[in-house]
Amino acid sequence: MHDHGIPDRPGWPDGVLEAVAQFRQGDLVRDLPLFYWADPTTPVHERTRAYSAAGIAGPEVVTFAAPAPYGMVTTQTCDLALEGDGHPNTAWVQLAPVFNGLSPHPESPDLHLLDGGVRNLVRSGRGYQNLLFIPRMPEDGFWFVDLTFEVPAERGWLARQERIDGFGDETKREEVGRRLAWLRSRPALDGRFVAAVQKPIADALKVLRREEPAVYDEMHEKVLEVGFELTTRLSVSAARLCVIHDSAPEVLVDLPRWIS
């Protein structure tokens, strides 16, 4: 959309720019409407297949009768503020739906229920990287944001919403930006590298977590970052594992035993 059709600052509705500038990335609003664009002639999701079964043909905007209980702002904080006196460069913000893992969505009873094991992983950030735990909510439950799905909204809509802080402090809130950055910056990798190196290490860590949970927990706490040095990402002929750690446990030097 670029900046076509966006007025200069004096042409914006009263209070909209100021109200949106109060929001931060990671803030919540209530009752986020959900919709997506689909073609029932090539359906993928069960909701789209239902449209197809109803005889609807051609592109359709598929809407959910019930909104998500909350939506989380994923737009960066600096892009919300539009500080300065210059021409505003966007009318839009992005929000992702927030659900209660202990309570079913009214349209899909099993859609967002999470069992205890999944909740533990999401809470600790150890798995399900598209799901981010929200620690401070105005009502009971296990609340998480689903980062696989985002909804665009005009700033005038966000300006009319109550701002809800789901994190409580900046340190916890910064995890939103880190998670979004990680999801959107993941490099594509050679399938041979994934099959020969990445997947065996991931499988080995799953075994370690199951058979020696205390060692796994210690390693998770003390290993700061794991990376690979590769010849090239899409055509790997050699790879070297690099581990940055703080007094990592002895299991690191014995990792080949778990992989083999």
Alpha carbons 163 and 23: distance in angstroms, whole number: 7
Predicted TM-score of the model (pTM)? 0.74
**Same domain? 76 vs 148:** yes
Domain-embedded: residue 4: no
Output 115 or 10, whichever has higher pLDDT.
Answer: 10
Residues 149 and 237 in one domain: no
99-117 pLDDT per residue, tens: 998 876 665 555 567 888 8
- Choosing from 185, 213, 239, the residue where a domain stops is 185
**Full 3-state SS string of the chain:** CCCCCCCCHHHCCCCHHHHHCCCCCCCEEEEECCEEEECCCCCCCHHHHHHHHCCCCCCEEEECCCCEEEEEECCCHHHHHCCCCCCCCCCEEEEEEEEECCCCECCECCCCCCCHHHHHHHHHCCCCCCEEECCCCCCCCCEEEECCCCEEEEHHHHHCCCCECCCCCHHHHHHHHHHHHHHHHCCCCCHHHHHHHHHHHHHHHHHHHHHCHHHHHHHHHHEEEEEEEECCCCCCCCEEEEEEECCCCHHHHHHHHHHC
Total length of the chain: 260
Of 14-18, 31-35, 103-107, which gets the smallest average pLDDT? 103-107
Q: Is the residue at 30 inside a domain?
A: yes
Are both 171 and 243 inside the same structural domain? Answer: no
Q: Which residue is listed with tokens 């009873």?
A: 109
Asked which of 85-89, 106-110, 138-142, 168-172 is least confident by mean pLDDT, the reply is 106-110
Position 56 pLDDT exceeds 60 = yes
Residues 132 and 238 in one domain: no
Count of the separate structural domains present in the chain:
2
Q: What would the mean pLDDT of 79-96 be, rounded to a whole number?
A: 87
**Least confident stretch, 36-40, 121-125, 203-207, 239-243:** 239-243
Same domain, 75 and 144: yes
Q: How confident is the model at residue 152 (pLDDT cuts 50, 70, 90)?
A: very high
CA distance 158 to 75: 12
For the segment 154-160, the average pLDDT, to the nearest whole number, is 97
- Answer yes or no: do 129 and 212 share one domain: no
Q: Are residues 63 and 118 in the same domain?
A: yes
CB 45 within 8 A of CB 38: yes
